[in-house]
Amino acid sequence: MPFKSLTKTVFLFWGLCLQSLAFSGAFPEVSALSEDEKFPQSAILELRDGAIFANGAPRFIIGSVIHEGADRDAGVSATGYDQADAWAYETLPDYTDSQRIGIDSFGIVPARTWRKIYRPRALPRRNMAALSRIIGSGLPILGELAIEDYSHANFPVMEDVNPSEFCWFDGAAHGVPYSVVTPEGVQLWKTIWRTDTAYYAKHGATPFAFRIFASADFFDASPAATRTFSNYVTKKYGDVNTLNKALGTDLRTFTQVRQQATSTNNVAAYIEYTKFLETKFADLCSASVTEIRAAAGNTNAAVCFQPQSVRPTGIDHYAAARQMQILCAPADAGNPLFCSKYMLAIADGKPVFSPDVTIGQSATKTRNVILSQFARGYAGAYVREWRRGAREWIRYTRTASGSTVLDTAETEKAGRDYAAKNPDYFMNPYAVPTEALTGIRDAKKAILAAGGIFSVPNIERGTQIAVLYSRPSDRLSATSAGREIAVDLSDEAAVDALSFAHVKNSVILEEQLGTSSTNGLKAIVVTDSSYATYADTPRLLHEFTSNGGIVLLSPGALAVNEYGRAATNAFSYASSSTNELGAAETKTQTFRIGNGSVIRFSGSAGVLPRILFEEAGVHPSCQGVDSATGAHVGGIEITHAEAADGAHGLLLFNRGAEAADIRVSIPGVAKPSARDALSGKPLPVEESAFRIVLQPNAGEIVLVDAPTSSK
């Protein structure tokens, strides 16, 4: 071959290699994605059966919210990532980009033009060219109406400019900067929602859902709020004697109620005031749906809010959730297992978004944190927080010739410093390495491989045990009387003990006793956390046992009523028998009531599974034991789903620090035909169990065909 031709061939070869390298990077080409993996564009979304359906098929949504400021980074070059991945960092994603990353939904924060109504000044400009890529992607959009600190909602007081002074309140608040009690405050919220919602219509976005509060928690102790409360109780009770009889107080006037409403030492007045705030919050949630749907021109738009915790002040989740079409789990999940079961209980069949997901420092950690939310019955998870902040940490320098260039060393240092202060900004490569982002798509592929078997109805099928949740106890705990009550056994501990013994369990609220929520339940566990209860609760539990149910009752449960007075309507017992479960400190006393029984027990939460096994005839829905010893393996969390046709799905997580080699059996399945959901590879079967090795803090999905023998 002539030299010139050889040289041309070599350059052509290297040119193809460089072209190939330019399209490498951490993410796959869109041509490598299967059609099943891609989220359908402009899909018809439905909310039912605890799930989000896209074009008739259930779809777990992985999304992220684009907060104010994120759009300003579009087009800004920085450091810390491979140039082959620059498209992911230097633009906001369109449909193709989002699918390569694995994200299927985006939340967009409006421009907050409502502020100009009360303070006429220029607002930060938005990069609409960048945002239009998301809006035009055909992916589900979440309208993020919640007011965050960096949205400058709490702007300084300016005479004759700010909202009315009655829009503000005294006391603790998080995510709720304006009054939900006063007419002026309610009107301000309606103005905010109408104005912000118009932003989406103006730019051609049609959100399928709107979120109105983020991390909400409040207690409004302002004079304006307490005056409104005085009118509320006057209308509710008519005269002060009726109020005194209901609350067990000896107040002389309704003015005294208002004066003592915010004092935790006047227990009854404080409880009544807390319930008043909860009512006003729920009323505002109801009003938000009307305002937002009208402004959006979409009668099907769903609305949700996010509480700060499972036990917030000023908010009754259950009452507020009844006004919503979709729910959002607390930002502070506390105990994740309990939080998910509690949210599914109050949702009553509505879809629930998981708590915000923080991306891990590796693809495996990212995959597992998202997969955990799917396993717990959530309908979707939003990853926080799509923000790079490059304009905050990028550094330039001047060359000898006077031109401005990127100062790589200083930019890297500033990027790391910024990441240390903002670790959740996962689009800053110094906070989260690029490789960790690939775990989003890994989780998505695993969830899609699981198919529809992990629906909420399939997960809940066969659940016979519920742990009682008591909102009255939460309210009382903030008072002087509640702080004096020691809680030895909590709801969270009971849920953990049952779950890690692989006993299917749920949460039931006091408000749900006596309804269809008790259908199918064999036992209700009442822990010390339910020390304060509504007046009807003991009667409803009594009816549950009379009809054949079993109530497991810890020593501190049902001690006082919701206002802190000693309970007078406890269970009546016909006969009893006592049993010691192998240890002096663990005893049970069984009382027959009608066709059922009450089992009083002492001891820690760890004794609950044994009581259920030995005295209530309850069995685990599946069982994981050490392959070598046959002993129960602690720390193995298993989500067991059973379809109507008898097929099973198991999502197994090893929450321990060491790898676990376990054998898993399902009652009624004599010889399981088990396979890894993602690879399709069969798992070894030994007798009536399949064998699997679980790495620490990792989850695996196993599918088991319909059983060959009946249960």
| Better-scored residue on pLDDT, 559 or 710 | 559
At residue 13, the pLDDT reads 41
Angle at 344 between CA 322 and CA 295, to 5 degrees: 40
d(CA 474, CA 61): 32
Question: Band of the pLDDT at 157, cuts 50, 70, 90?
Answer: low
pLDDT tens-digit profile of 285-336? 999 999 999 999 999 999 999 999 999 899 999 999 999 999 999 998 889 9
Alpha helices by DSSP H, 556-679: 608-615
Q: How many CA atoms lie within 13 A of 434 on its CB side?
A: 16
Answering whether pTM is above 0.85, one says yes
89: helix, strand or coil: helix
Q: Tell which CATH architecture fits domain 623-704.
A: Sandwich (2.60)
pLDDT value, residue 69: 82
How is residue 171 written in tokens? 């006391």
pLDDT, mean of residues 562-579: 67
* Token pair belonging to 394: 């990028």
pLDDT band at 18 (very low <50, low <70, confident <90, very high): very low
CA distance 141 to 200: 10
Spatial contact of 400 and 479, defined as CB atoms under 8 Å apart: no
pLDDT confidence of residue 169: 86
Question: N- to C-terminal Cα distance for the chain?
Answer: 77
Q: How confident is the model at residue 711, as a pLDDT?
A: 44
Reference 50, options 328, 408, 379; nearest CA is 379
- Strands 596-601 and 586-593 turn out to be antiparallel
Residue 339, pLDDT > 80, answer yes
Confidence of residue 15 (pLDDT cuts 50, 70, 90): very low
> What CA–CA distance (Å, rounded) separates 565 from 567?
6
Determine the average pLDDT of the residues in 464-469: 97
Q: How confident is the model at residue 8 (pLDDT cuts 50, 70, 90)?
A: very low
Q: For the chain, what is the radius of gyration of the CA atoms?
A: 28
* Domain 61-70+101-388+438-454 class, CATH top level: alpha beta
Q: Phi/psi of residue 144, each to 5°? A: -90, 90
CB 282 within 8 A of CB 316: yes
Kindly indicate the confidence band of residue 497, based on its pLDDT and cuts at 50, 70 and 90: very high
pLDDT tens-digit series, residues 174-218? 889 899 999 999 999 999 999 999 999 999 999 999 999 989 999
CATH topology of domain 462-615: Rossmann fold (3.40.50)
d(CA 480, CA 28): 59
pLDDT > 50? residue 151:
yes
- pLDDT for 583 beyond 70: no
User: Among candidates 597, 336, 345, which has minimal Cα distance to 469?
Assistant: 345
User: How much is the mean pLDDT over the chain?
Assistant: 89
Measured between alpha carbons, how far is 235 from 119 in angstroms, rounded to an integer?
A: 37
What pLDDT does 10 receive? 41
pLDDT value for 12: 40
Instruction: For the chain, give the percent of residues with pLDDT over 90.
Output: 71
- For the stretch 592-631, pLDDT in tens is 888 999 999 988 899 999 999 988 888 899 999 999 999 9
Amino acid 162: pLDDT: 80
DSSP string, 654-701: E-SSS-EEEEEE-TT-SS--EEETTT-PBPPEETTEEEEEE-TTEEEE
Could you tell me the pLDDT band of residue 112, with boundaries at 50, 70 and 90?
A: confident
* Residue 250 per-residue DSSP state: -
- Contacts (Cβ under 8 Å, ≥6 apart) of 266: 249, 260
pLDDT at 570: 64
Per domain, the residue ranges of the chain are: 61-70+101-388+438-454, 462-615, 623-704
**3-state secondary structure at position 419:** helix
Q: Can you give the three-state secondary structure of 652-664, one letter per residue?
A: EEECCCCCEEEEE
Q: Mind giving me the DSSP string for 217-247?
A: EE----HHHHHHHHHHHHHHHSSHHHHHHHH
Q: How far apart are CA 618 and CA 623, in angstroms?
A: 13
Q: Is the pLDDT of residue 48 over 70?
A: yes
Q: How confident is the model at residue 53 (pLDDT cuts 50, 70, 90)?
A: very high
Q: Which residues 6+ apart lie within 8 Å of 360 measured at CB?
A: 366, 368, 369, 436, 439
* Residues of the chain above pLDDT 70, percent: 92
pLDDT value for 24? 64
- Structure tokens belonging to residue 552: 């497991």
Helices 608-615, 491-500: inter-axial angle, 10-degree rounding: 60
pLDDT at 19 over 70: no
Return the pLDDT at 7. 44
Q: How far is CA 339 from the centre of its chain?
A: 7
- Helix (H) / strand (E) element for 267: namely helix 267-296
Please give the pLDDT value at position 352. Answer: 98
Per-residue confidence band for 451, with pLDDT thresholds at 50, 70 and 90: confident
Q: 397 - beta bridge partners?
A: 405
pLDDT of residue 312: 87
Does the CA dihedral 382-383-385-390 come out positive or negative? Answer: negative
Please choose, from the candidates 52, 116, 104, 325, the residue with its C-alpha nearest in 3D space to the C-alpha of residue 212: 325
pLDDT score of 154 more than 80 = no
